Chains A and B, each alone.
Chain A
Amino acid sequence: MSDAELPSSTGPTAQDDFEPVSVFEDSEMDLRPGADNCYKCSVCDTTCPVAEVDDEFPGPKFQGPEQWRLKRKEDDVEIDDSIMSCSNCMRCDDACPSGVPLSQMHNTARGAYVDEQMTKLSREYVRNRILANYGTLARLGSKVPRLTNFVMGNSLVQKVNETLLGITAERDFPEFATQTFREWWAERGGPQVRSEDKRVAYFHGCYSNYNTPEVGKAMVRVFEAFGYEVAVPRQRCSGTPMFANGMLDDAERAASVNVSELSDLLEEGYDVIASCTSCSMSLRQEYPELFQLSGIEEVAENTYESLEYLRIHEDLDGALADASVDEQAFAYHAPCHARNQGLDRQAVELFREVDGVEMEDVGDSCSGISGTYGWKEEKYETSMKIGDDMFEHMHDAAGEVGMTECPTCSMQMEHGTGYEIKHPLQLLEDALC
């Protein structure tokens, strides 16, 4: 495209989401007009979990609209380095009553900062790059899962990781499954249910493929039980860890593969389903905000989270009304990224009625890990402080099994309480299949 895309607003229709204004494909995004929506109410600051525990962090209002508004185009050094302390939890987006594109501003600022102000040979950069490209490393590591698990679980290795790279030794590396989801899918021969008009393309994400394939399996079984034909396209990382680390080029490369593959399936009548709320967040919001790939809008509009999709398209309430499971109590945590998609209540409301299930929400705080954030040695303590509230509520709750849609939240929940953590899809599978 060669013409400026105007911020959309035909007459006084209330706040449309701010449209990125960009002219040339490689010119820098100018988000100063996004500051027009800000009326300085500071509500975003009140919801920022990092600002609450880290006084070095000035909060989203400064990181976003204030910092952008103070910028001049030819400035060399522009972005304050505190942008790297933003965990990209995106709660600020969910809070802003005025529609300021906070996460878009933060992601763009972070990308610019990493591009222009971070030394590419610095330990921080190298470490962030590694964490951001977890998907690539996982692909390698999963080829020899037992060896990888053994090596990564070795405390000496963890210590070296910490000293050399700055990856905290406090956390246990997630284990690789002996058979990935994709391997299982190939082994079972792909979809077992065919349909002309009920088709979903599964975006499994890195974690459900390499580490917790049982989530992917649950997804397939549940959807097939409802008569859907499932496709599992070729896919790369959704980009979530890359945004959080300012590696926008890496994210774009991955996005172009994803958009291409998913677009093809959309044309054949598929909708896109993700089981990880960060993957769905990325495809629905960050993709169209940050990239201009052909077909990206359609992919964004037709991506759903797994439970969300069933609630809209099937009588999930009805199906669950007759279901019953063995007595179990869960402590549910809504991932921050789920909030922005309006999904924070769905698990609790859905399962409240199921016989045998006790589902308690452990509050609306952030889990603290925020993807790669809590894996960084210098951020580990902050991430645990943020998670304090959640750990406390988990202990207070009746259940000793945690539940959440986000893989890293799940790591944090386990790390802080020792509980086993499940995905709602697994409970759904239990109840319906």
Chain B
Amino acid sequence: MHQQMSNAPSVLVIGGGSTGCGIVRDLAMRGLDATLVEKGNLTHGTTGRMHGLLHSGGRYAVSDQSSATECIEENRVLRRIATHCVEMTGGLFVQRPEDEDEYFQKKLEGCRECGIPAEVLSAEEAREIEPHLAGDIERAIRVPDGAVDPFRLCVANAADASRHGARVETHAEVTDVLIEDGAVVGVEVEHDSGEGSFVHGDDGEREEIYADHVINATGAWAGRIGEMAGVDVAVRPSKGVMTIMNVRQVDTVINRCKPKGDADIVVPHETTCILGTTDEEVDDPEDYPEEGWEVDMMIDTLSDLVPMLSEARTIRSFWGVRPLYEPPEVASEDPTDITRDFFLLDHDDRDDLPGLTSIVGGKLTTYRLMAEKISDHVCDRLGVDAECRTAEEPLPGSEDFSVLRDWMDEFGLRSPIGRRSAERLGSRMDEVIGEWDGPNPTVCECEAVTRAEIHDAIEGAGSELNAVRLRTRASMGNCQGAFCCHRMANELVPEYDEVVARDALDDLYQERWKGERHALWGQQLSQAMLKHMLHATTMNRDADPATTGEPVEFGAFDSGPDASVAPDAGAESAGNSDDAVADGGTPGSGGTDADS
């Protein structure tokens, strides 16, 4: 059990999404003794299943102006402090002939009212920016939307927090909230594989972590944690589908300029485009139906904006669950009416339970502001007087860097590979790639991820290849891991045992499959079949005796033309293949299965 290293007050943050990571960074920078626990990988919850949109606020300029204003302010901050996580793509609100002029005007005015820079473009001007827009669009409003990579953002926040002395534990699920004398004093967690980096196969262990204050930043799971503490936090989770295209048909965020509705946005994300989304309330943030009609709707509806989407290849679809919260008295019926605003629930004030504060609602774009607010609140409670500097200090990786360097000269990398690596690593490029010793081949060719970057991720993630994937984008390209999953697993050896690598590979393979199932037609179906052939036929991973544990009767198989196996010895045991396992095969070839 960890002891307090100083007299600084201690805070425990539950939840490793954008909010939680932002909070632990802020608190650590203010000098508090901060700990974060997350049940899965960082971004396990909504953060890892969002659109990748860095809001300009335009989407709320009509319906939720306070959200919109916060968005544009934080948009500016993140552009500064998270440069390697953000791509300033710009955004367009596109009006189709059937969309109302009145709404277009309201949108434009709303943007201006919220301080969101907005410019009207003609259809020709819009198509000059994005040639693949439909030929019959009317006009568009240009706003400073951007694309954000939530994984890199959280990893950077957590890394900065650690740098400032915080403790970050993933694969550590809170199993109980500890209450003593009517106040929350900490939590009990179950570490999946012991403290520190996740390692497949290592035993779990329980730990009680005490803290002066506990922050519940678990988003869609806030209600669950609340329950453990005996308080009611009525989160209303609502699911939304996101369909990932294989390539970037557009390089700008394309919004449909009409009142909120399904399938109205295309967001460029790294090497892909993400189509979104739907809004359906669900009961359980972890168990809800993933339905094909939602995928079809994305493609069919958004083809009205970008026609080539109807025939383009998708590589997977996934669903995210929005952690919506509204004060119980509002009781909206339609989840699309629920505010996207965030709420700080101090359970002392609200439920007479000191030591616990929940933060619910909100959106990724405003994560830093949410973190600032709750950190202010908690510091106030704990009598800590410290400034928030999270808006000024760049995140690790976002210090000064350029993507325009001579990649071959400096790092021995082909320019597209160097550039993509730098887009991901930012200012850490020299440290990760530059200081790598030995050959640096490309491990994931689709996404241009080199061995050095994989190893950097393994350092942070342990043997969890899904976490390595989130940090590097390896296996997120068009082959969905067909050719690199096993290469990634190879990189784990010899630091980790082969058995660990094998388990990790299975986990990653299955995780990739889960989302790929939603894209199984056309070219992606052919891709999946090729993947299946490679892994089942060529590598025999589906009937691997090492994994099934079934003993193999080696003596019953061909051991070469010169071996002492009579040609028709096979015929003898042909009828009783079960016996072949027990009996030592043919005379002279020995080899029982006793020790396999």
Cβ A70 vs Cβ B416 within 8 A: yes
B190 within 8 A of A: no
B336 within 8 A of A: no
A75 within 8 A of B: yes
Q: Which residues of B contact A39 (CB under 8 A)?
A: 478-479, 482, 523, 526-527, 530
**Complex CA–CA separation, A72 to B530 (angstroms):** 28
A346 to chain B minimum Cβ distance, whole angstroms, is 31
Instruction: Say which residue of A3, A40, A82 sits within 8 Å of B482 (CB atoms).
Output: A40
Cβ A69 vs Cβ B446 within 8 A: yes
Q: Which residues of A contact B416 (CB under 8 A)?
A: 66-67, 70-71, 78-80
B196 within 8 A of A: no
A35-B246, A66-B446 known; A6+B307 contact, CB < 8 A: yes
B312 within 8 A of A: yes
A23 within 8 A of B: yes
Cβ B312 vs Cβ A36 within 8 A: yes
Q: B residues 375-417 with Cβ under 8 Å of A? A: 404, 408, 414-417
Nearest 9 A-B pairs (CB), nearest first?
A: A36-B313, A23-B131, A32-B247, A73-B251, A40-B479, A39-B527, A80-B414, A70-B416, A3-B135
Instruction: Say which residue of B251, B483, B522 sits within 8 Å of A40 (CB atoms).
Output: B483
Instruction: Say which residue of B128, B404, B415, B417 sits within 8 Å of A81 (CB atoms).
Output: B415
Specify the chain A residue showing the minimal Cβ separation from B484. Answer: A40
Instruction: Say which residue of A4, A24, A37, A58 sits within 8 Å of B132 (CB atoms).
Output: A4
**Complex CA–CA separation, A229 to B165 (angstroms):** 88
B477 within 8 A of A: yes
A389 within 8 A of B: no
Q: Which residues of B contact A33 (CB under 8 A)?
A: 247, 249, 308, 312
Q: Which residues of A contact B417 (CB under 8 A)?
A: 70
Specify the chain B residue showing the minimal Cβ separation from A6. Answer: B308
Instruction: Say which residue of A3, A40, A76, A80 sits within 8 Å of B445 (CB atoms).
Output: A40
Q: Which residues of A contact B478 (CB under 8 A)?
A: 35-36, 38-40, 69
Q: Which residues of B contact A72 (CB under 8 A)?
A: 87, 248, 251
Cβ A41 vs Cβ B415 within 8 A: no
0/1 string, A16-54, CB within 8 A of B gives 1: 000001111001001011011111110000000000000
Q: Which residues of A contact B135 (CB under 8 A)?
A: 2-4
**Complex CA–CA separation, A37 to B479 (angstroms):** 11
Q: A residues 112-162 with Cβ under 8 Å of B? A: none
B213 within 8 A of A: no
Q: Which residues of B contact A418 (CB under 8 A)?
A: none
How many residues of B are counted as interface, with CB atoms below 8 angstroms from the partner's CB atoms?
39
Number of A-B contacts defined by CB within 8 Å: 107
**Complex CA–CA separation, A133 to B271 (angstroms):** 38
B562 within 8 A of A: no
Q: List 20 A-B contacts (CB under 8 A).
A: A4-B131, A6-B311, A21-B132, A23-B132, A30-B132, A32-B247, A33-B247, A33-B249, A36-B523, A40-B479, A62-B414, A62-B445, A66-B446, A66-B448, A70-B417, A73-B248, A80-B414, A81-B415, A98-B523, A98-B526
Q: Which residues of B contact A23 (CB under 8 A)?
A: 127, 131-132
B363 to chain A minimum Cβ distance, whole angstroms, is 25
The interface of chain A, by Cβ under 8 A from chain B, is 2-4, 6-7, 9, 12, 21-24, 27, 30, 32-33, 35-41, 58, 61-62, 66-67, 69-82, 98
Q: Which residues of A contact B248 (CB under 8 A)?
A: 32, 72-73
Q: B residues 488-530 with Cβ under 8 Å of A? A: 522-523, 526-527, 530
Name A's interface SS. Answer: loop
Q: Which residues of B contact A66 (CB under 8 A)?
A: 416, 445-446, 448
Cβ A24 vs Cβ B131 within 8 A: yes
**Complex CA–CA separation, A71 to B483 (angstroms):** 21
A113 to chain B minimum Cβ distance, whole angstroms, is 10
0/1 string, B431-462, CB within 8 A of A gives 1: 00000000000000111100000000000000
Q: Which residues of B contact A27 (CB under 8 A)?
A: 131
Cβ A76 vs Cβ B404 within 8 A: yes
A77 to chain B minimum Cβ distance, whole angstroms, is 6
Specify the chain A residue showing the minimal Cβ separation from B132. Answer: A4
Q: Which residues of A contact B446 (CB under 8 A)?
A: 40, 66, 69
**Complex CA–CA separation, A23 to B87 (angstroms):** 25
A36-B246, A62-B445 known; A82+B414 contact, CB < 8 A: yes
A119 to chain B minimum Cβ distance, whole angstroms, is 15
A292 to chain B minimum Cβ distance, whole angstroms, is 14
Q: Which residues of B contact A35 (CB under 8 A)?
A: 246-247, 478
B420 within 8 A of A: yes
Cβ A58 vs Cβ B251 within 8 A: no
Q: Which residues of B contact A30 (CB under 8 A)?
A: 131-132
Cβ A7 vs Cβ B251 within 8 A: no
B419 within 8 A of A: yes
The interface of chain B, by Cβ under 8 A from chain A, is 87, 127-128, 131-132, 135, 246-249, 251, 271, 307-308, 311-313, 404, 408, 414-417, 419-420, 445-448, 477-479, 482-483, 522-523, 526-527, 530
Q: Which residues of B contact A74 (CB under 8 A)?
A: 251
Specify the chain B residue showing the minimal Cβ separation from A35. Answer: B247
Q: Which residues of B contact A3 (CB under 8 A)?
A: 135
**Complex CA–CA separation, A343 to B514 (angstroms):** 45
B463 to chain A minimum Cβ distance, whole angstroms, is 25
Specify the chain A residue showing the minimal Cβ separation from B530. Answer: A39
**Complex CA–CA separation, A333 to B132 (angstroms):** 44
Cβ A78 vs Cβ B415 within 8 A: yes
A7-B308, A35-B246, A39-B479 known; A77+B415 contact, CB < 8 A: yes
Q: Which residues of A contact B128 (CB under 8 A)?
A: 24
Specify the chain B residue showing the minimal Cβ separation from A61. Answer: B445
Cβ A4 vs Cβ B308 within 8 A: yes
**Complex CA–CA separation, A37 to B446 (angstroms):** 13
Cβ B415 vs Cβ A69 within 8 A: no
Q: Which residues of A contact B131 (CB under 8 A)?
A: 4, 22-24, 27, 30
Specify the chain A residue showing the minimal Cβ separation from B534. Answer: A41
A7, A33, A36 — most chain B CB neighbours (10 Å): A36
Cβ A21 vs Cβ B251 within 8 A: no
Cβ B530 vs Cβ A4 within 8 A: no
Specify the chain A residue showing the minimal Cβ separation from B251. Answer: A73
Cβ A69 vs Cβ B307 within 8 A: no
Q: Which residues of A contact B523 (CB under 8 A)?
A: 36-37, 39, 98
B250 to chain A minimum Cβ distance, whole angstroms, is 9
Q: Which residues of B contact A24 (CB under 8 A)?
A: 128, 131
**Complex CA–CA separation, A78 to B478 (angstroms):** 20
Instruction: Say which residue of B132, B251, B408, B530 sits within 8 Å of A41 (CB atoms).
Output: B530
Besides A6-B308, A39-B526, 6 other A-B contacts (C-beta < 8 A)? A6-B311, A24-B128, A36-B247, A67-B416, A72-B87, A74-B251
Specify the chain B residue showing the minimal Cβ separation from A39. Answer: B527
**Complex CA–CA separation, A62 to B404 (angstroms):** 20
Specify the chain B residue showing the minimal Cβ separation from A58. Answer: B414
Instruction: Say which residue of B246, B311, B419, B447 sits within 8 Å of A9 (CB atoms).
Output: B311
B450 to chain A minimum Cβ distance, whole angstroms, is 13
B143 to chain A minimum Cβ distance, whole angstroms, is 17
Cβ A70 vs Cβ B308 within 8 A: no
Q: Which residues of B contact A77 (CB under 8 A)?
A: 404, 415, 419
Cβ A75 vs Cβ B419 within 8 A: yes
**Complex CA–CA separation, A30 to B448 (angstroms):** 20
**Complex CA–CA separation, A22 to B131 (angstroms):** 8
Q: Which residues of B contact A36 (CB under 8 A)?
A: 246-247, 312-313, 478, 523
**Complex CA–CA separation, A21 to B307 (angstroms):** 12
Q: Which residues of B contact A58 (CB under 8 A)?
A: 414
B347 to chain A minimum Cβ distance, whole angstroms, is 46
A215 to chain B minimum Cβ distance, whole angstroms, is 41
Specify the chain B residue showing the minimal Cβ separation from A23. Answer: B131
**Complex CA–CA separation, A408 to B287 (angstroms):** 65
**Complex CA–CA separation, A35 to B285 (angstroms):** 35
Instruction: Say which residue of B127, B312, B414, B477 sits within 8 Å of A69 (CB atoms).
Output: B477
Q: Which residues of B contact A70 (CB under 8 A)?
A: 271, 416-417, 419-420, 447-448
Specify the chain A residue showing the minimal Cβ separation from B245. Answer: A36
Q: Which residues of A contact B311 (CB under 8 A)?
A: 6-7, 9
Q: Which residues of B contact A71 (CB under 8 A)?
A: 416
